[in-house]
A and B are shown apart, each in its own frame.
Chain A
Amino acid sequence: MKTLQATNDFVIKFANVNGSGSASANTLFAKSIARMGVPVSPRNIFPSNIQGLPTWYEVRVCEAGWNARRGGADLMVAMNPQTWEKDVAEVTPGGYLFYDSTRPMPAGKFRDDILVIGMPLTEICNATYTDPRQRQLFKNIIYVGALAALLGIELAEVEKLIGEQYKGKEKLLEPNVKALRMGHEYALAKLPCPLGLQVQRADKVGDKVFLEGNNAAALGAVFGGATVCAWYPITPSSSMAEAFAKHCRKYRMDKETGKNNFAIVQAEDELASIGMVIGAAWNGARAFTCTSGPGISLMSEFIGLAYFAEIPATLVNVQRAGPSTGMPTRTQQSDVLLCAFASHGDTKHPILFPQDAKEAFEFTADALDIADRLQTPVFVLTDLDIGMNERLCDPLTWDDARTYDRGKVLTKEQLDAGARFGRYLDVDDDGITYRTYPGTHPSRGSFFTRGTSRDRYARYTEEGTAYVDNMQRLLRKFETAKHFMPKPVVRPAAKPSRYGAIYYGSTAPAMEEALALFEADGIHLDALRVRAFPFQDAVIDFVNDHDHVFVVEQNRDGQLRTLLVTEGALDPARLGAVLHYDGTPITARFIHGDIAKRLSALQVTPLRRTVAGGASGE
C-alpha cells in the first residue's frame, strides 16, 4: 500500500465525544503547529448538545496559508466508537487512522487501503491514573503527545503552550506535561514514527493572531463604544455576548470607582433584547445585540420601528443553517434577504459582510458609527464558520486618532443658539435628519417618537403626501448610506476576462483558494468581494462589465444574487448561482469544480482535470 506523503499540507480530523474535554487538547495541537510557523485552520463540527454526542475537530495544515476547509481527512484520530464507521470511511485512500487499541477491534472494522495505528490509550491511562475524570482528560493530552511524535511537531512548542495555559496553576501544569511526554515517548518507542505526513518548521505565520470571530466582534463593540448590550442566548452567537462581558470587565471598569462603564442585560427573549437596544440608542447610548437567524425573525417588528422612527441599532447576526431551528450548529449565509428587508412594509437595512475575525472586529466598530450616522438598524452578518472557529488572521489594528461619529445630534447649546429643529426635516439634503436626546433642553427639542406616520416635525399624520415625502427621504438616506459602508474588494484576473465571480463573508477564504486554482489552470476569472449592502456602484458596474458573473454563496436560493438582480436591475440570466448549503463550510474544491463545469458549458477553454493534493471528501 502506498501511503500519503505530505509536508505541511494535509488535513487531520479528530472524532470525539462532546463533553469529554477534547476541545482544549485539540486546540493545543493546532496552536503548536502554528507556533512552528506553519499556518493551520481548525474547525469545530459539533452537535446541539451538552454531553455525549459526536463532535469533530478538523485541522487543515497548509503552508500555502489557505484558511478554507479543504474537505477529506488524511489522518483520522478516531476517539468515538459511535461514529467509527463513518470516520474510518472518510479517510483519504493511503491515509492514516489513529485509534485507541485498548479493546481489540474485529478486522472487518478497518480498511486495507489506509495505515492503521493503534495505541492503547485507555490502558495507559488506567494504569497511570485512578480518578476517572483524570483518566478522561489526560487521555486527550497523551494522544497529543503521540501525534507530536508521529507528525514531527516539536514537543518544546507544545510544552511552552501548556506552560502559558497553566501559568500560575503549577499544580495542573506538571501532570499535563507528564501526560504529554508519556504519549510522546510511547509513540517514539512503539508507533511507526515518523508518518508520511509531517510538520516542518516554516515562517509562514508571521505576526498573525489566532482569533475567533465572535470574540473579535465583541472586542469591536468595546472599541466602537457600545455601552449597552442586550441579548438572548442562541447558538452560534452566545459566545459574542459572553466575550463582550469579559472584555468589558477588563477594559471598561472605572479605575477610581470600580463601577462599570457598560450595562449588559440577558433579556427574556430576542424581542426584549432589541427593544432594549432601541430604547438605549433612542436615549443616546451606543447599543447592540447579537443573535442568529431565529432571533432576527423575532426582532422583525422592532426592526421596522427602528427603521421608520429612525433609531440607531447594531445587530450582529451570526448565521446558522435555517429555516426554523434548522441545523443550529451548522453554518450558512441564509439570512441575507431576511436582514436586508426585515419587518413589514417597505424597509431596507444596511448590512456589513465581514470575511473573517479581523473584519468582524472592524465592521462591528464601524457599524456602531454607521448606525448613529444613519439613525437606522445596521446588521453585521457573520456566521458560525467565522464566529465560532479560531482562525489565523492579521493582527487587529486601531487608529487612536479615530473618534466616534455620533451622527446628527443637536446639543443644548445648538438649541439655545436657535437651531431650527424638525425631527424629520431634511436640512442637509442627504436624507438624514437631526435628533435630540431626551432631557437635553427645558423647552426646545422635545419630540414624540412613534411607529406611526408623521410629518417633518414628528406630528402624527395620515396624510398621503406627508407619508410619501417621508418614505422618499428614507430612500435618499439609503442612497447616502453607500458612502459610509466598506467598499467592495476587486481582484482582477491576470488577464482581462469576460467572466467574473462575486462572493462575500465566510466564502472568501475558499473563493481565494479557488481563484488560485483557476489561475493555475490558465482560466481567468475576475473577482469581487461584496462587503456591504446597499451595493455601491462598483458592484453593479462589475456585473455590467462582464458577460457572465458567478455569485458564490452558502444558501439554497442565491440570496445575494436575488438582491443584486433587484437592487441593480440586472439581467438574472447573466448571474450564475454557485451554491453550497449543506451546513459545512464551502470549499475551494467545490467552487472550482462547479464554476469549471459551468464555464465549459458556456463553451470557454477546454478544461484539464485538476487534482489538488489529498483526495475524496466532497
Chain B
Amino acid sequence: MTYLAKPKLHHPDLPKNALGLTRRDYEGTISTLCAGCGHDSISAAIIQACWELAVQPHRVAKLSGIGCSSKTPTYFLDKSHGFNSVHGRMPSVLTGANLANRELLYLGVSGDGDSASIGLGQFAHSMRRGVNMTYIVENNGVYGLTKGQFSATADRGSKSKRGAVNTDEGIDLACLAMQLGASYVARSFSGDKHQLVPLIKGALTHPGAAFIDVVSPCVAFNNHEGSTRSYDYVRHHNEAVNSLDVITMHKEITAEYPPGSLQEVRQHDGSVLRLRKLADDYDSSSRIAAMSYVQSHYARGEIVTGLLYVEPDAIDLHEHLGTTMRPLNELGDKELCPGSAALAQFNASLR
C-alpha cells in the first residue's frame, strides 16, 4: 500500500548523523503489517542501525523472498533499491547481486517460512560460500499470510492458535548458520531494541556472511499461551550471553568496563566489536563451544541471545573467487572483450 504516504514534516531538531541525515532519511513507506507485529520493531532497528552507522542509504541493496517478513524492505531505506524475489530464493539473488558489485551493502530479509522450509537449501549454501551480507530472519514460528500454519522453526510440542500441537522438530537457524560456516551469527528478540540495534550494526560492518535470527512474535497467530514465540514466552526464557557495542573506525573508544568481562574483536574494516559478557562461561570466538552452549540451553527451554559467534578474519566469496576489486558491473568492452586478434589465435589452435 505504497499510496499511503508518510507525512513529510518532521521535527527540525531531529539529530543528524555523520552524513547530516536524520533517521527519517532511512525510513520507507508506512507498514501494512498488523499493529504490534514484531517485524515492525526489526524494521525500526534496521533504520536505527543504518542511521547510527551513517550508511549511505542508496549504497544498500535490500533483498527479500516472500512472506510477511519479506514485505518489510518497503518499510525502510526507500532510497535503496529493493528486490522482492521469489519464495525462499533471496539468498541466490543476493549472491548474484553481490557478485556484480562488491561495493554495496547487502541486506537480506527473510522469514522462517521463507528460509527454513522452501529456502533452507539456499540459506545453507549462501552461508557456506561466505557471501558478504547481513541476513536477517524474522522468526515467528508461523505462517502469517496464509493464516497460522506452523513453520519449520516452530518448537516441537508448541501449540498453534487453533490448539494443534507441533510434532516436528524445530530448526534452529542460528545453530545451522554456525555449522555451515557463517562468520557472524547472532540471535535477538524484536522486543529488545537495545540488544538488536548493535547486533545489526555489527552484522553490517562484518566482512562476511552475517546471520541474525530475530525472534519476532506474530500478534495475529502466534502470541498465545502454548506458543514458544509469544512476547511473554520469549521475555521469560531469553538468556542473553553478552551485550555488544560497535565502534566504527572513526570513533574513539571511551567507555570503561570491569577487566576480564570485556572482549574486543577488531574487524577488517577497522571497526571494533566490543562484547561485554553477561554469561561468564560463554565464548563467542569458538564455533563449537557456541553451538554446544546454545543447544544445551535450548534443551532447558532457554533461548540464548546475543552475538553467538564471530570470526573477525572472515573471508568472503569475492576473496575465495579472486575477483577484481572493481565492481564487475563497471567493467566495459575494453576490459572484457579479448578482440579479434585473440580470436584469430584461437582459430589457429583449432586447425
Partner-B contacts on A (CB < 8 A): 34, 207-211, 219, 222-223, 225, 227-228, 230, 251-252, 254, 257-265, 267-269, 271-285, 287, 301-302, 305, 395-400, 402-404, 436-443, 446-452, 459-460
Contact = CB atoms under 8 A, between A and B. Distances in A.
A283 B328 CA distance: 10
Q: Which 8 A-B pairs have the closest CB atoms?
A: A279-B96, A275-B92, A284-B329, A285-B100, A276-B96, A438-B81, A283-B100, A279-B93
A283 B61 CA distance: 9
Contacts of A398: 337, 339-340, 343
Given A260-B322, A268-B125, A282-B93, A275 B336 contact: no
B80 A446 contact: yes
B128 to A, nearest CB: 9
A439 B347 contact: no
A517 to B, nearest CB: 30
Interface stretch (B83-91, B141-149, B239-247, B275-283): B83-91
Given A219-B346, A267-B92, A284-B329, A276 B99 contact: yes
A274 B86 CA distance: 12
Contacts of B265: none
B350 interface: yes
B161 interface: no
Interface string B325-338: 10011011101111
A18 B318 CA distance: 38
Given A222-B338, A268-B121, A442 B96 contact: no
11 contacts: A251-B342, A263-B99, A268-B122, A279-B96, A280-B99, A399-B340, A400-B340, A403-B333, A448-B83, A450-B83, A451-B84
Interface of B: 1-3, 56-59, 61, 63, 73-74, 78-86, 89, 91-101, 103-104, 121-122, 124-125, 129, 317-318, 321-325, 328-329, 331-333, 335-340, 342-344, 346-347, 350-351
B92 A276 contact: yes
SS class, residues of chain B in contact with chain A: helix
A276 B93 contact: yes
Given A209-B347, A438-B61, A442-B56, A397 B89 contact: no
Contact of A302 (B57, B80, B83, B86): B86
B28 to A, nearest CB: 9
Contacts of B61: 283, 438-439
Contact of A450 (B57, B84, B328): B84
Contacts of A264: 321
A271 B118 CA distance: 11
Among the interface residues B104, B318, B329, which one has the most CB atoms of the partner chain A within 10 A? B329
B339 A400 contact: yes
A397 to B, nearest CB: 7
A268 B121 CA distance: 8
Contacts of A228: 96, 99-100, 328
Given A210-B350, A251-B342, A283-B61, A276 B324 contact: no
A404 B323 contact: no
A446 B78 contact: yes
B136 to A, nearest CB: 18
A464 B348 CA distance: 58
Given A261-B331, A305-B85, A223 B121 contact: no
Contacts of B100: 227-228, 279-285, 287
Contacts of A447: 81-82
A194 B101 CA distance: 64
Contacts of A211: 350
A439 B101 contact: yes
Contacts of A254: 324, 335
Nearest to A264: B321
Contact of B338 (A251, A305, A436, A439): A251
Contact of B80 (A279, A438, A450): A438
B99 A439 contact: no
Given A252-B336, A400-B339, A275 B78 contact: no
Contacts of A210: 350-351
B347 A263 contact: no
A438 B104 contact: yes
Contact of A449 (B84, B333, B335): B84
B184 to A, nearest CB: 21
Contact of B89 (A227, A275, A395): A275
Contact of B324 (A261, A271, A451): A261
Nearest to B82: A448
A396 B333 contact: no
Given A209-B351, A301-B86, A446 B322 contact: no
Contacts of B346: 219, 396
A442 B78 CA distance: 11
A278 B96 contact: yes
Contacts of B325: 257, 259
Contacts of A403: 333
A446 B58 contact: yes
B92 A272 contact: yes
A395 B342 CA distance: 12
B350 A209 contact: yes
A278 B93 contact: yes
A353 to B, nearest CB: 23
A427 B89 CA distance: 32
Nearest to B126: A272
Nearest to A403: B333
A459 B58 CA distance: 18
B93 A275 contact: yes
A274 B89 CA distance: 10
A230 B92 CA distance: 10
A275 B96 contact: yes
B259 to A, nearest CB: 43
From A265, A402, A403, A451, name the one whose CB has the most chain B CB atoms within 10 angstroms. Answer: A265
A301 B122 CA distance: 15
A469 to B, nearest CB: 17
